[in-house]
Every structure is written in structure tokens, then in C-alpha cells.
Structure 1
Amino acid sequence: MPGTSTHDAEATPMNPLPSPRTSVRGRLGHLIFSRVAGPDGPGLRARIHDTPGPRWFGPERPVRRVHGDAAMFIGGLSALLLQSLHPQAMAAVAAHSGFRGDPWGRLQRTSAFLAVTTFGTSDSAYEACARVRAVHERVRGATSDGQPYAASDPHLLGWVHTAEVDSFLRAHQLYGARPLDDEGCDAYVADTARIALALGVRRPPTTRAELAERMAAYRGELRVTPEARSTARFLLLHPPLPLLARPPYGAIAAGAVALLPTWAARALRLPRLPLAEDLCVRPLGTAVTAAIRWAMPPPPAVAGP
């Protein structure tokens, strides 16, 4: 994916919005932005994009294109579903994340982290990773059947990273404004490895082939727990959204399910109808992501390293 310009950074939870306008486009963009960025969104936007200094990733890097595209809405939801299949990771989320009580707050914190590490200064990226590692050190416990877990465990962190990167890349290749070529896909995985290392992941994958190998290596540890199925129901059927937002969210949710590997969807008892996916799910996902891009213009130009 060589040749990324600052205008390739499309609308996502990571790419904040200019000041609200009186147009339909402006109101819609402001509504989306306020949900995913929170009350400090404008201030965070300014700090990320206006602060001078070296960045981890230059404007040509694939990670900026992927994390700056509206396809992340579908990829992010699919990643949560996939990550839930590791019992220890799911137990840690269920016990410590508070996602049910404050789902928007969790989304906003995740969006801020991705924004800072992708577009922010190197110092800010290091600080964000350090804060996450400090939180992980305090997250410990056991699953319902007695398996201990620690959020700081490099192996568990590796699963979360693998599932996330795989989902983000799958979504971008299907719904992104400009999908990556093979070289760009490998470069994206290599870019995300830098963030993973800063979080404590050991030997993260650096190519798409390595990503697939790592996913296969975790398969024997994955299984569905009651917490995983409950989480899937919450995310797909009972999101904390007003009625008017349910139809577009439904398109995002359907896209997220269709994005899952077949074995993962089957494990979560989520329906997969290939014909319906081709005729309905993908066109709807494409339409929704296009609408988000329209509503949320690209962020201001950001400096490279």
C-alpha cells in the first residue's frame, strides 16, 4: 500500500471530526464522533494531530490507511467476537473491563489508544502503551473452571493482538476505500507488530502468512464459554443504541459476523448464509461504511516520523 496520503485516513473511531456544522452531513458526523470519541474528543483530536514531533508511522505507512478507514467499525466488532473465544481473555474482559456497564466508555478508550499509537507522536504512543501495561498488571483472576489468567501474560496478549489484526485487515480488504495489495498487507501486519511489542507481546507476526500461522496455533486453546455467548448476544442483539441507530448498526453487526472465520461463527452459533452474505450483507456493509466516510471527513494532515 505505498503512496498513502493524508487524505487516505478515512473516518473511524480514530479519526476525529471537525467542528459540528449545520448540514445533515455535519450533524451526522458529529453524532458518530461524539459516540466514539467521547466528551474530550475535540481536545484529543488536537493533541494527536497538532502536536509536532516524530511519529511511529509515517504518512505512507499502511497502518494509517487501515486504522483510518471506516471499515474499522466492522473490523472492531468482529475482533471482539473473535477474541471472546479464548476463555481466559473472555474471563478477564467479563470481570474487569466493565464493558456492559459502560460500553461507550470502553469504546472511547480503545479508540483513543488506536488514534494515539497510529497518528500521535512517538512520546504519546509510548506513554499510551505504558498506561495500558500498568492496567494489565492489575488484571488477574481465574475462569469459572479455575484456569488462572493475567492480562499481562504475553501469550494472552498475543491472542488479543492476533485476533484484532486479523479482523482489522479482513475488514479493510472487504470494506476499505482502497484495499491493500499483498505487499501492503504484509507491511500492515509489520506496522502493528511495533505496537504489540510495546504492549508486551513477544515475537508478534510481521507478515500475513505469519499472522495466519499464529491464528492456527491458538485454535487448540479456543472454545465457547457462557460468557462468550452472552457477550455475542449483547453486542449483536442488545447494543445500547437509540432505535434510529439500530438499522445501520445491524448492517455493521451482520458484516462483523460474516467477517469471522467459519469455525469461529459456528462456535458462537452465529448464522452464516453465504448467498445472503453476497446479496445483502456485503452491499449493506459497503453502504454503511461509505456513509460514515461521507459524514466524517479526513483528519488534518499529520506529520511523519
Structure 2
Amino acid sequence: MVRSPSCVGALRERAGESLLHRVAGPEAHRKRARIHGTPGPRWFGPDRPVRTVHGDASMYIGGLAALLLQSLHPTAMAAVAAHSGFQGDPWGRLQRTSTFLAVTTFGTSQDAEDAVARVREVHDRIRGTTSEGVPYHASDPHLLCWVHIAETECFLRAYQRYGRAPLDPAGEDGYVADMAEVARRLGAERPPGTRAGLKARLAEYRSELRATPESRAAARYLLSEPPLPSLARLPYAFLAAAAVDLLPAWARTALDPPAATRLLRPLARPGGHAITAALRWVITAT
């Protein structure tokens, strides 16, 4: 049976709306109108690399890779496990994160400043002790920098592999510098401003990183137990394999991904390209 163009269009629109609401929440259209439509100065102009990267469908792969990599800092992972609600309310956490990225990247300077202030207020309240007795505070500049460089690295790597048009070296440096602007406002310690600086900062943290029961549990949940309808499970499996494939070899070994993800790794790159192409097709319908 050949589907009519109107039927395909309707399916595309429904898929786009479903994806938008999962990622941005029930008020997705209102949020998008405010972020993009409110007049006023922005932190980043339309030609800045951060807008190119964060406006691309490769962010879905980069975002999952970032969560996996961030989990390998035991102190940061303990704070996430205790306070973020990533298992109890995974879509809520995703919506809050995606809204913050959208506002700081595309929104007015005032809205971006307000978003940073809200996050800093939340971080000030989050503190505790890991299972090994190590105290933590979410506003710790060292931990904030780890979260920042892990997501910067993964977003950039995902875009360079799956984005519409990979950045040149100057564009890569520009993206890292743009991200550093936000990180400094959040209170991160010495966020790097170049691609080489990002690589060096990641190396500085290497001795602090290792898998824990919490990080492996998070990886299993994110890779093989996502709260998705059955029809979305197969595409998500390829997205998950592409995210794992972005990670450094030592990180993949440490996290010990589920067998299904390991089996799909040989298809991670073609699968990742197919998923990002499908996401772009769906997103343009909303």
C-alpha cells in the first residue's frame, strides 16, 4: 500500500508534536515563541557557533553521550542520583535542561540571566554526602566545570560527526568559547575557551573519573530502559549506540553498556546518521 502525501504529512506532524512535547514539555510552543520571538539583545548573535550546534538534531545524540560521560565523576553522579530525579521524572529533567540550553543560546539576554540565576539558586540548595563519605555541593566550581566540559565535548563531537555542516577549527574554538561564557556565569572553575583547552581540561579530570554502581545503573537505565513507547524503542536503540560510540574507549569500557548496545555499535555511525536525518525531518513539521 502506498501512503498518500497527506497521510505521510499527518504522521510527520504528529511525530513532531510528540517529540516536541516530550523534550520541551506541554507548553513547548509558548516557550519557543517567547525564546525566539521576544525582541531584545542576545548573548549570542545568529552567526555564533553555539547557535549552529544547539539548533541541530545531533544534540539528541550528544546530550545522551554527555549524561553518560558526566556520570563517571563519582561525586557529580552521587549528586545527580540523590537530587535530579532522572529516573523518577526523566522527561521533566530533560525538559528543564533543554529549556535552559534554548534560553541561554537563543533567548534574550534578560531571560538568559534569569535562567542562570534560577539554576544557581537550585545548586545552592543541593548538598550531601556520597556513599563513600565524600561531601558534595552542587555549586562547587570544580564539579560545575566537569559537567560543563563533558557536555561541551559531547555536543561538539556529536555535531562534528552528525551535524549538517561540521565546523572548521575556528568554529570549534568559537563553540567552546561560547559555552564558556555560560559556564562562567554558572560559576564553573576555569572553563576552557578553545578546543585544545577543552582537551587539556578533560585530561586534568581523568584521574577523578571511574565507574560506580550508580553510574552503571544510570547507563543501563538510559541505554536500555528509557520510558518510551514500544514503537520508539528501535530508533532509540540506534541513537543510544551512536551516543556510546562517541565516548572515549576508556569510558565505554568503564560503563559496561548493555549487550544490545554493544551489538549495535558496528552500526552506530550509519544508524546515527539515519536517526539525525529522521529527527530533522520530523522536527521541521512542528
Which category describes the TM-score, using the shorter chain as reference length? Answer: over 0.9
Q: For 1:86 and 1:265, how far apart are their aligned partners in 2?
A: 14
Counterpart of 1:203 (choices 184, 190, 193) is 190
3-state SS of the aligned residue for 1:23? helix
Cα shift at 1:202: 2.5
Instruction: Check if 1:88 corresponds to 2:60.
Output: no
Residue 207 of structure 2 corresponds to 220
Residue type matched to 1:240 in 2? P
The number of residues matched between the two structures is 278
Superposed CA offset, 1:248-270 (max 9, x none) = 11111000100001111111123
Coordinate RMSD, CA, aligned: 1.9
Counterpart of 1:108 (choices 77, 81, 95) is 95
What is the TM-score with the length of structure 1 in the denominator?
0.88
Residue 151 of structure 1 corresponds to 138
Please, which moves more after superposition, 60-69 or 266-275? 266-275
Please, which moves more after superposition, 229-238 or 21-30? 21-30
Contact conserved, 1:29 with 1:295, CA < 8 A, in 2?
yes
Q: For 1:85 and 1:104, how far apart are their aligned partners in 2?
A: 22
Residue type matched to 1:118 in 2? T
Contact conserved, 1:265 with 1:271, CA < 8 A, in 2?
no
Residue 45 of structure 1 corresponds to 32
Superposed CA offset, 1:77-127 (max 9, x none) = 000000000011000000000111100000000000000000000000010
3-state SS of the aligned residue for 1:141? strand
Q: Percent identity?
A: 64
Cα 1:165/1:117, change in 2 over 3 Å: same
Q: For 1:298 and 1:123, how far apart are their aligned partners in 2?
A: 30
Instruction: Check if 1:292 corresponds to 2:279.
Output: yes
Cα 1:294/1:113, change in 2 over 3 Å: same
Residue 12 of structure 1 corresponds to none
What is the TM-score with the length of structure 2 in the denominator?
0.94
Cα 1:298/1:126, change in 2 over 3 Å: farther
Structure 2 unaligned blocks of 5 or more: 1-7
Structure 1 unaligned blocks of 5 or more: 1-20, 300-305
Q: For 1:88 and 1:180, how far apart are their aligned partners in 2?
A: 33
Superposed CA offset, 1:51-92 (max 9, x none) = 000000000000001011000000000000000000110000
Contact conserved, 1:155 with 1:201, CA < 8 A, in 2?
yes
Instruction: Check if 1:192 corresponds to 2:179.
Output: yes
Counterpart of 2:159 (choices 172, 176, 183) is 172
Cα shift at 1:22: 6.0
Residue 121 of structure 1 corresponds to 108
Q: For 1:209 and 1:55, how far apart are their aligned partners in 2?
A: 27
Q: Which structure would you say has the larger RCO, counting Cα contacts within 8 Å and 6 or more residues apart?
A: 1
3-state SS of the aligned residue for 2:26? coil
